[in-house]
Every structure is written in C-alpha cells, then in structure tokens.
Amino acid sequence: MLGVARRKLGFGLLSTTRVLPAGSVLPKKYSTAAKEITVREALNSALDEEMSADPKVFLMGEEVGEYQGAYKISKGLLEKYGPDRVLDTPITEAGFTGIGVGAAYYGLRPVVEFMTFNFSMQAIDHIINSAAKSNYMSAGQISVPIVFRGPNGAAAGVGAQHSQCYAAWYAHVPGLKVLSPYSSEDARGLLKAAIRDPDPVVFLENELLYGESFPVSAEVLDSSFCLPIGKAKIEREGKHVTITAFSKMVGYALQAAEILSKEGISAEVINLRSIRPLDRATINASVRKTNRLVTVEEGFPQHGVGAEICMSVMEESFEYLDAPVERIAGADVPMPYAANLERMAVPQVDDIVRAAKRACYRSVPMAAAA
C-alpha cells in the first residue's frame, strides 16, 4: 500500500507540468540505414502518434496509466496526454469495455487494453453484441470505431486460463476485424490502421514478442505510416511449399523455412497479418504457385484459422494442390502448466519442418516424427 502511494506521488510530481502532444516518441531523425525497434516500441509509438494526431483517441484499461501498462506498452502516455485520455479503470472488464463501446457510438475512438486477451472473456458480450453487431442492427446509423488490444496466445508458464489464442474466436464474428501483428513493422502499421478504422478491431498482440527487435525502414518510422487491413505479407518467397502463419508463429515458420532450404525445399512464408478479413487472394496465389500448403497457428485445431484457410484453398484452388493440406495447431487440450508439457502443446519449428516435408513427399525419419 505504501509502495503504491509512493509511486503515485512520484508521478504526481512529474505530471504537474503536463507535456503537450508533440509528435512521436521515436527519434525524429533517422538514417536511411535499417534501424531496429522492439514490438513494444512500435506499439507505444503508434499509440502515441495516433493520440497526438486525433484528440478523439483515448486509451483505457487496467494499469494503463500510472503503472505505465502491465507490459509497458502505454509507457509515458499518461504524462503526455493526462488522465482524461489515459484512463486507469477498475478491474471491471464488462463495465469498462461497454463504456468504451458506448463512447465509440458517439464518434470517440477508444483504445481498450485488455491486460491479456484471456480477460476479454469477461467482456466478450460487449465486443460481439454491442460493438460488432451495432452497425448492422442500426442499418448503418451507429458505427463503432474502437480498438480492443492486448497480448493474446500462449505465454510462458502461466497455465490454462492465461494461455489461449482468440484469433479464431473473434474471426468468426461478422462486424469485427481481427489483426495479429508479428514484427515491429506490423505492430506499428496495423495498430495505426486499427485506430483510424471506422469499425471495431480486435488487435491480438503477443506477450513473448514485445521485447523482440526487428529492423524497420525509414518509411515505417514515418508518422504517416499505416498498413492496409485485409492484406497479408509474403515474408519469404519460395516455390515448393506455402506456409501460412500469424503472430509469433511467423517467426517459427521463417526458422523452418531456413532449415528446409538447407534440404533443398524452398518454402514461401505468408504472414497473415489480418485474420479477418482474410487475404484469400494472396494465399491462393501462393498455393497456385507452390501447389502445397502448411497452415500454422497456436490456437486449438478444431474450427481454427487453418481450417478456414484450408476451405478457402479447396474452394478456389483445389485443382492446383499436389498434396493434402497440412495443419499445424496447438494441442487440443487446455494449456498445461509443466514446461515440458507446455512445449508439446504449442507448435514448434520441428513440427513445421516435418509437415512441410510430408507435403513435399519427402521421407520423414521416424526419429524426427516422434
């Protein structure tokens, strides 16, 4: 309790001089040489710039203000924009999510942070019933420009209730857009797009990626940078097999592609970026080129993102397939706590390599399959 009081006092002193919004927290001058920033910095700077550009944008959630964000994504924002625009809420997901939705009905642009997306279960009624469906039910009279964001997917050692991927859940719902960034470029460009978008966007980050650094171009660092929603990115070109992935699994897919290349298999890695709308065109174009497909996701297999991609390829490119589609997904169990079991419950690089080889009709040694 005393600690909390001290912390508050500290910020209180800082905040007596409120800093006016003044551009990005990113360094203004950057060289043309590739620079690296972390996903955390990318998200923070995207939030900062969008809040600076539009006073209708505000951030609310648990610990986003004085604590600077449970994962420090909102670091410095309270100081810069004050408590009217960076709102620490009580621990009441249903309440504050609904309040965000109601504020969006009036044209404000709330960014609602869930400490993790697991807690969004407490507020899923508002995400689906109050936000996603209102534009349709009101025949276009009430639009809901809101972003629900926070870490999603398996974290490390936190057990079943804190380790789950919600991509397929939210991607099931008409009226929602579901984005899932992998790199710093994705995080910056997609979060800015989400905030500017006139519709409700579910923005699925990954806790384990926050601290990872990625090279970014000067264009990505520009405050006007923004990525299109509904467009995938080909992270690595290839010609023998297509691997689709999103979020953390893109990194695994790239690692798998590297291993495969040493064995003469050229894998094309697609970073989905947008789960809904799904970039069917890019996926199908790639499959028509490689004739083989491996889908990778951390979530549960049944009715998952891979299932949807598989159906899309069946519908549009069936005659191009030279092998059955391979699906890599999380194990169909609640996340176990024990580290060894946990590792088995989420896809690993080896799983992707093995599936790609199967798709290419390369023999897979039994040892590797075990």
Query: Interface residues for another protein in 80-99 (CB under 8 A)?
Result: 82-85, 87, 89-90, 92, 94-99
Shortest distance (Å) from residue 280 CB to another protein: 6
Q: Kindly tell me which of 138 and 161 has the beta carbon lying closer to another protein.
A: 138
Determine which residue in the list 66, 212, 258, 350 makes contact with another protein, applying CB under 8 A.
66
Residue 91 CB-density burial (10 A; 0-12 exposed, 13-18 middle, 19+ buried): exposed
Which 206-245 residues touch another protein, going by CB under 8 A? 219-220, 222, 224-233
Q: Which of residues 269-298 bind another protein (CB under 8 A)?
A: 277-281
Please report whether residue 143 would count as binding another protein according to CB under 8 A: yes
Query: Looking at beta carbons only, is 4 or 339 nearer to another protein?
Result: 4
Q: Examine residue 255 and tell whether it contacts another protein (CB under 8 A).
A: no
Token pair 């467009």 in the structure block, residue: 231
Helices (H), the chain: 2-15, 39-53, 77-81, 93-105, 124-125, 134-137, 167-171, 184-196, 218-221, 248-262, 280-290, 305-317, 339-345, 349-359, 366-369
Q: How many residues does the chain have?
A: 370
> What gap in Å lies between CA 210 and CA 205, rounded to an integer?
8
Q: Is 303 a catalytic residue?
A: no
Q: Which is nearer to another protein, 272 or 329 (CB)?
A: 272
Residues binding another protein: what is the number (CB under 8 A)? 77
> Which amino acid type is present at position 72?
K
Nearer to another protein, 163 or 242 (CB): 242
Residue 3 binds to another protein (criterion: CB under 8 A): no
Active-site entry in 41, 62, 93, 297? 93
CA-to-CA distance for 38 and 210, rounded, in angstroms?
7
Single-letter code of the amino acid located at 183: S
Interface residue with another protein among 61, 150, 181, 189 (CB under 8 A) is 189
- Residue 132 Cβ vs another protein, minimum distance, rounded to whole Å: 9
Q: How far is the CB of 73 from another protein (least distance, A)?
A: 20
> Would you say 99 or 323 has its CB closer to another protein?
99
Give whichever of 85 and 248 is closer to another protein, judged by the CB atom. Answer: 85
Phi, psi angles (nearest 5°) of residue 94: -60, -40
Q: What are the angstrom distances between the C-alpha of 122 and each of 63, 117, 134, 292?
A: 17, 10, 19, 40
Question: Looking at 135-143, 206-214, 286-294, 345-353, which segment touches another protein (CB under 8 A)?
Answer: 135-143
Q: Annotate 234-261 with DSSP letters as a single string.
A: EEE--SSEEEEE-THHHHHHHHHHHHHH
Q: Is 108 in the site for another protein (CB under 8 A)?
A: yes
Q: Determine which residue in the list 61, 69, 100, 330 makes contact with another protein, applying CB under 8 A.
A: 100
Task: Evaluate whether 214 touches 37 at the Cβ level (below 8 Å).
Answer: yes
Shortest Cβ 357–another protein spacing (Å): 29
- Please give the residues from 168 up to 187 whose contact with another protein meets the rule CB under 8 A: 174-175, 177
35 binds another protein (CB under 8 A): no
User: Which positions from 287 through 346 interact with another protein, judged by CB under 8 A?
Assistant: none
CB of 32 to another protein, least distance (A): 17
Q: Which residues of 209-229 are buried (b: 16+ CB within 10 A; e: fewer)?
A: bbebebebeeebbebebbbeb
Residue 360: other Cβ atoms inside 10 A? 21
CA of residue 308 relative to chain centroid, distance? 18
Minimum CB separation of residue 139 from another protein in Å reads 4
Any idea what DSSP says for residue 129?
A: I
Sheet architecture: strand order including 267-271:
233-236, 267-271, 241-245, 293-296, 326-328
Asked if 123 and 93 count as a contact pair (C-beta separation under 8 A), the reply is: yes
> Smallest gap, in angstroms, from Cβ of residue 56 to another protein?
7
The verdict on whether 162 is a catalytic residue reads yes
Catalytically active residues are 93, 162
